[in-house]
Structure 1
Amino acid sequence: MSSTESPDARAVPVVPPGRPSRVSAGEEVRTVTLPGTALAVRSRRPLAADLPPALFVHGLGGSSQNWSALLERLAADVDGEALDLPGFGDSPPPDDGDYSLTGFARVVIRHLDAAGRGPVHLVGNSLGGAVVTRVAAVRPDLVRTLTLISPALPELRPQRTAVPTGLLAVPGVVSLFARMTKDWTPERRTREVLALCYGDPGRVTSEGFAEAVAEYERRLELPYFWDVMARSARGIVDAYTLGGQHSLWRQAEKVLAPTLLVYGKRDQLVSYRMAARAGKTFRDSRLLTLLESGHVAMMEDPDAVARAFRDLLADTAATAERSATPRG
């Protein structure tokens, strides 16, 4: 990528500089080293022994912090981990500079294989939803259930409010946007993000807003921040153009795991109308619709998402028990 495509397309350090991201009470973040990359993995101590494992994957511009509220609520149900995809959160960029959906899916698979935690309850939001869909399609042995929160699956006619995010993939746009917004304060940047991602930004507490501002300031210190955003957005757009067996919708048809689909009626990035297609495509699916939520339901209404997730786990366990019971 040329320097005209990103204001910070320079050589990057091996580890992120400056301060690490916030760690909530009861959480810990560790570094996992894999071939070609290192991952920051956030976890919360489970409230019981021998709980089933779960893995949570964030969306474009997000991090493992996006799952803190849900991890807390599910501590009695799963042994949960949330990772920072390469280049996001506290994870440095990958050695090969691969920010494609396939590249991210490969990293998730490598992590699960190396940790030996599979099969897991796999959860993804937005970009992460597309990533885990691909994982579930190509490695069904690693997935117990699949939960998709506003998954970034291809839309023929995206909402107008989602177009600016897609434009990040166009060479030069990120550099232009960075120049146009260079005088924006972290507070303004944060308000813009919340207005786009939340159904009702007013639900964010003053403490939560202050934490979001601090996180935005931290990310802007990273010399590769804009470059990662541009390349990851390009990875999504590239995945949308693939046909045949590599099509995300074709791969969704192959998913065997029981699937929970979560859509917010106020989502400005992934249209709620896609819920109907997703429900028909994933062979064993159920739908949770949240009328007041936008793009990040696990942050906006973690209680509702947690309840639906527990129902999925309970029904899946009951089905497995019936299948294991001898007949006759």
Structure 2
Amino acid sequence: MVQEAGSERDANGVPRLPLRRDGWNFWNFEGNKVHYIQSGTSGTPVLFLHGFGASAYHWRYNIPVLAENHRVFAMDLLGMGWSDKPTGEDIYQVWPRQIAAFIKEVVGGEPVVLVGNSLGGYNCLKAGVTSPDLVRGVVLLNSAGRFEEVKAEERAGSNGRASVSKVPAEEQPTLVASLMDQLKSMALRGSIYASFFMAKQPKRIRQASFQVYISQHNVDEDLVNSIVWPAESANAAESFYRIISGKGTPVNVLLSKLDKPMLLLWGADDPWIGPGSAARIESLYPRAQKVLLSGVGHCPQDDAPERVNAELLRWLDAL
């Protein structure tokens, strides 16, 4: 039985999602428990994807409003939020499969509009490329992801795949070099683990949020708890390490393969991923529509939800 998201009023009387200690709904994907929120009964399906270290709850101000006219879903990516935190396969390879399976099995197979913030925006792009039949459009809110030029030799061949050559014997790693690489990896893991245990402290979460939120009254106890609680689960530190140390497909490569309507909804005062990144995406993907939100930081959906909701509804209606 699916639990509807529900709604409450914040201190200013604005409708939002109430926080639940144990989450909302869970779905099984490849033996892993995946957490999601669902609301609305009709209209274009919209799937929200959160950023690094956050959860589906980060769309607390958007779900109740969009659910009035749309079927709305918000999912925790594996490794974060209330979803399980597997430690096997490269998580950047798992996420596209997770998104596709969710659309097929939970949404019902109807193509969705993907809306993602930060790392969630990157995953919107990846899903739009890997599962185009399941995606109707893409909305990026201060999307993360690295840009990297594809080398000429990697374009060789009619199949577009990189050519693979054997490493000469004299260039093959020695035992000592292999051990040094392992030690460096262990040192990196230890460093990232230490930063995780510091970063998950409520005080640190507040400090980081104050840096990237312009409207700081939304940095409240519920927001902090929605980050702290999932970080207490098993394998959270290892998931943090794997996400931090992993590498996804470069954004420019994804954009070269994407063929979907796109909205760039960007907080112009983001100290982490500023409007220059939006301009770069726009230059590589000219069909994108861009809306810069002045006085808004890295998480527009929670920093200025009224403005974000208005722009989302306008774009969805036009779509």
How would you bin the TM-score normalised by the shorter chain?
0.7 to 0.9
In structure 2, distance between residues paired with 1:138 and 1:214: 34
- SS in structure 1 opposite 2:244? helix
Match of 1:109 among 100, 103, 111: 100
The amino acid that maps onto 2:230 is R
Query: Offset at 1:174?
Result: 1.8
Is 1:309 matched with 2:304? no
Match of 1:322 in 2: none
Conserved 8 A contact 1:190-1:213: yes
1:174-185 map, 5 Å? 174-177=192-195, 181=198
Match of 2:217 in 1: 203
Query: Offset at 1:278?
Result: 0.9
Match of 1:85 among 64, 77, 81: 77
1:216-227 map, 5 Å? 216-227=227-238
The amino acid that maps onto 2:211 is L
Match of 1:40 in 2: 35
Conserved 8 A contact 1:149-1:263: yes
Is 1:143 matched with 2:108? no
- SS in structure 1 opposite 2:61? helix
Query: Offset at 1:210?
Result: 1.7
Match of 2:56 among 64, 77, 90: 64
- SS in structure 2 opposite 1:69? coil
Bigger shift: residues 128-137 or 111-120: 111-120
Conserved 8 A contact 2:55-2:226: no
Match of 1:298 among 301, 304, 307: 301
Deviation per CA, 1:36-95: give whole Å up to 9, x if none.
Answer: 422111112x2xx53111111111101000011111121122100000111211111136
Conserved 8 A contact 1:190-1:212: no
In structure 1, distance between residues paired with 2:196 and 2:140: 31
Query: Offset at 1:267?
Result: 0.9
Deviation per CA, 1:248-280: give whole Å up to 9, x if none.
Answer: 212113222211101112212212211111112
Could you list the runs of 5+ residues in structure 2 that have no partner in the other structure? 9-16, 149-186
1:35/1:178 CA distance change after superposition, 3 Å: closer
Deviation per CA, 1:193-218: give whole Å up to 9, x if none.
Answer: 21233134x332xxx51213333442
The amino acid that maps onto 2:97 is R
Conserved 8 A contact 2:264-2:289: yes
TM-score, normalised to structure 1, is: 0.73
TM-score, normalised to structure 2, is: 0.75
- SS in structure 1 opposite 2:260? coil
In structure 2, distance between residues paired with 1:140 and 1:283: 19
In structure 2, distance between residues paired with 1:271 and 1:135: 23
Match of 2:240 among 204, 219, 229: 229
Match of 1:325 in 2: none
Deviation per CA, 1:10-56: give whole Å up to 9, x if none.
Answer: xxxxxxxxxxxx98557782111122422111112x2xx53111111
Match of 2:171 in 1: none
Match of 1:14 in 2: none
In structure 1, distance between residues paired with 2:109 and 2:127: 15
Could you list the runs of 5+ residues in structure 1 that have no partner in the other structure? 1-21, 157-168, 240-245, 317-328
Match of 1:254 in 2: 257
In structure 1, distance between residues paired with 2:46 and 2:143: 18
In structure 2, distance between residues paired with 1:83 and 1:77: 19
Match of 2:191 among 155, 173, 177: 173
1:127/1:287 CA distance change after superposition, 3 Å: same
Conserved 8 A contact 1:256-1:283: no
In structure 2, distance between residues paired with 1:129 and 1:144: 15
1:268/1:36 CA distance change after superposition, 3 Å: farther
In structure 2, distance between residues paired with 1:276 and 1:178: 32
Identity in percent? 24
Bigger shift: residues 52-61 or 282-291: 282-291
Question: How many residue pairs get matched?
Answer: 264
